[in-house]
Amino acid sequence: MKLSEVEARIPAWYAASLADKGPSWYVSSKPGRGKTSVIETAPALLEKAFGDGKYGFVCINGACLTLSTATGYLWPVDGADGAKYSRFTRPDWWITSEGKPLEDYVGGIILVDEEDKLGLDEKKIVGEAALSKRFASHQLPEGWVVWFAGNLSTDRSGSTKKYDHLINRRNQIEISDDLGSLLEWMKTRGGCMPETIVFAEENGHLVFSNAPEVQGPWCTPRSLVQQDTYLRELMDVMSLTLIPTDATTIEEVQGGIGSGAAAAYFATIRIGQELPTYEEIIANYKTVKVPHKPDAMRLAAYKIAGRVSKEDANQAVGYMLRFPEEFQIIFAKMAAHKNKTLVLHQAFKDFCSKHSSLLAMMATFK
C-alpha cells in the first residue's frame, strides 16, 4: 500500500479500531520510508473527518520500552477497606507532546513505533493493549486506540520474534515504495530544496535503495530529507546564498546517504548553481539565459516557483513562457502550492488560462 493511501484510510482505520471486535493496525516497511511521519498526521485527519473535538497522538519507541515504562511502577495505596494495595503509577507516555493527559482529548492514537524491536515480554503487554485498550491496571480513556509500526525482519534492523496470537489480532499493512507520494510531500509539506526534489525525481532507484551488503550509510527518503535539512541549516548558520559543494560538506552528506547517492545529489546541486539567479531572471526575464537540458529546466522551474511573489509574478511568468509547456505546468503547480494568493494575480490567471489542467488546479485554491 502507498503512503498516500494509508493517509486517506486513517479515519476509517481509527473508526474500526474503536468498534467492538475491531482490529488494531500494524504498518511495516523498509527503514526510512516515512510511515511514522504519516501516522503522526492522524489528529488533523481525524478532526477533519469527525469534527467532534481535539484528537491526540502519542508515539512510544518500542526499542526503548521496558516493562516499567510500559505500565508504570507498582506503588502502595490505601484501599477503601483500610488494607494496603499496589497499583501502577501513571506512565510517562500518558502525557502527550502537548503536555496534556490522554483524558483531555476526545480520542487519539498511541503508536508503538519500532514494534519489531520490542522485548518479548513487552510485546505481550502492548499486544494486549491493542485488543483490550489496557496497559496493566491502566484502562485507556474512551476514544484512544493502540497501533504499531515497524521494519521487516529481513531489514537487519534488530527485529525480535513475532507471536502468532498477536499477529492474529491486527491488520498488517506493508508500505510499498512510492516515488509519487514522496515527491508530493516534498513539494507541498516537506519544505525541501528544489535540488533535493529534482534529485529524487531522477534517482528513485537511489532514494529507495536497500541496505548495502557491507553495513554503512545509504539513501532512503528519511536520510535524504535529513541531508536536505542539514544543508539548509548550514547555509543559514554560515550566511551562504549557494549550497556549499566543498569536500567537507560532501563528506558530511556521504555520511548520511552514502558516496554513490551523494555524488549524484551534488551533481544536481551543481546544475542549480549554473542557472541564473532569481534576481537576474526578474531583472532581465526576456533575455536572461534559459537552460536547455531537461533536468536543468525542471530545477529552474522549481527554484523560480519557490521564490515568486505577487510583486514579481509578471517577470517570473514571462520568463517561464520561454520554457517548453511541460515545465511551465511544473512551475505553475509548484508556485500555487507555495503561495496560494498567486492564483488571484492577473498574470498568473492569464498564464494558467492556456492550460485546462491548471485552471482546474486553481479552482481548488480559491
pLDDT recorded at residue 57: 96
Do 217 and 274 share a domain, yes or no? yes
Output the nine-digit C-alpha cell for 179: 516515488
pLDDT recorded at residue 71: 85
Quote the distance between the C-alpha of residue 244 and its chain's center: 26
Do 251 and 271 share a domain, yes or no? yes
> How does residue 51 score in pLDDT terms, banded at 50, 70 and 90?
very high
pLDDT recorded at residue 288: 94
Q: Let me know: does 249 contact 282? Beta carbons within 8 Å.
A: no
Do 74 and 153 share a domain, yes or no? yes
Task: Inform me whether the pLDDT recorded for 366 exceeds 50.
Answer: no
Query: Phi and psi (nearest 5°) for 54?
Result: -95, 130
Q: What is the mean pLDDT of the chain?
A: 89
Domain that holds residue 71: 3-174
Mean pLDDT of 316-336: 89
Do 139 and 242 share a domain, yes or no? no
Q: How many CB atoms lie within 10 A of CB 355?
A: 16
Q: Could you say which of 154, 174, 194 is where a domain stops? A: 174
> How does residue 244 score in pLDDT terms, banded at 50, 70 and 90?
very high
Beta bridge partners of residue 60, listed in sequence order: 112
Q: Let me know: does 207 contact 225? Beta carbons within 8 Å.
A: no
Do 342 and 235 share a domain, yes or no? yes
Q: What is the pLDDT of residues 267-311, one digit of tens each?
A: 999 999 999 999 999 999 999 999 999 999 999 999 999 899 888
Q: Could you say which of 120, 153, 174 is where a domain stops? A: 174
Do 116 and 196 share a domain, yes or no? no
Task: Inform me whether the pLDDT recorded for 228 exceeds 60.
Answer: yes
Residue 258 contacts by C-beta under 8 Å, 6 or more apart in sequence? 212, 216, 217, 218, 219
Dihedral sign of CA atoms 201, 203, 205, 208 in order: negative
Determine the longest span between alpha carbons in the chain, in angstroms: 90
The lowest-confidence range among 96-105, 176-185, 341-350 is 341-350
Mean pLDDT of 307-336: 89
Residue 168 contacts by C-beta under 8 Å, 6 or more apart in sequence? none
Q: Let me know: does 341 contact 310? Beta carbons within 8 Å.
A: yes
Compute the distance between CA of residue 361 and CA of residue 366 in angstroms, rounded to an integer.
10
Mean pLDDT of 92-116: 94
Closest CA to 150 of 110, 111, 208: 111
Query: Phi and psi (nearest 5°) for 91?
Result: -75, 160
* pTM, two decimal places: 0.81
> How many percent of the chain have pLDDT more than 70?
95
Query: Phi and psi (nearest 5°) for 107?
Result: 165, -175
Compute the distance between CA of residue 335 and CA of residue 87 in angstroms, rounded to an integer.
57
Residue 114 contacts by C-beta under 8 Å, 6 or more apart in sequence? 61, 62, 63, 149, 150, 151
Q: Could you say which of 150, 174, 198 is where a domain stops? A: 174
Q: Let me know: does 86 contact 77? Beta carbons within 8 Å.
A: yes
The CA–CA distances, whole Å, from 314 to 77, 284, 308, 344 equal: 73, 12, 10, 13
Do 160 and 215 share a domain, yes or no? no
List the CATH number of the domain containing 18.
3.40.50.300
Compute the distance between CA of residue 168 and CA of residue 278 in angstroms, rounded to an integer.
57
Give the single-character DSSP code of 285. Answer: T
Mean pLDDT of 40-52: 95
pLDDT recorded at residue 157: 63
177-204 burial by CB neighbour count: b if 16+ within 10 A, else e? Answer: bbeebbbebbbeebebbbbbbbbbbbbe
> How does residue 20 score in pLDDT terms, banded at 50, 70 and 90?
confident
Do 123 and 158 share a domain, yes or no? yes
Q: Let me know: does 73 contact 89? Beta carbons within 8 Å.
A: yes
Number of domains in the chain: 2
> How does residue 126 score in pLDDT terms, banded at 50, 70 and 90?
confident
Strand (E) or helix (H) holding 207: helix 204-207
Do 190 and 264 share a domain, yes or no? yes
Mean pLDDT of 12-30: 92
Output the nine-digit C-alpha cell for 300: 529552474
Strand (E) or helix (H) holding 303: helix 294-307
Task: Inform me whether the pLDDT recorded for 152 exceeds 60.
Answer: yes
> How does residue 338 score in pLDDT terms, banded at 50, 70 and 90?
confident
Mean pLDDT of 235-259: 96
Compute the distance between CA of residue 337 and CA of residue 365 in angstroms, rounded to an integer.
9
Do 199 and 139 share a domain, yes or no? no
Do 128 and 198 share a domain, yes or no? no
Do 159 and 213 share a domain, yes or no? no
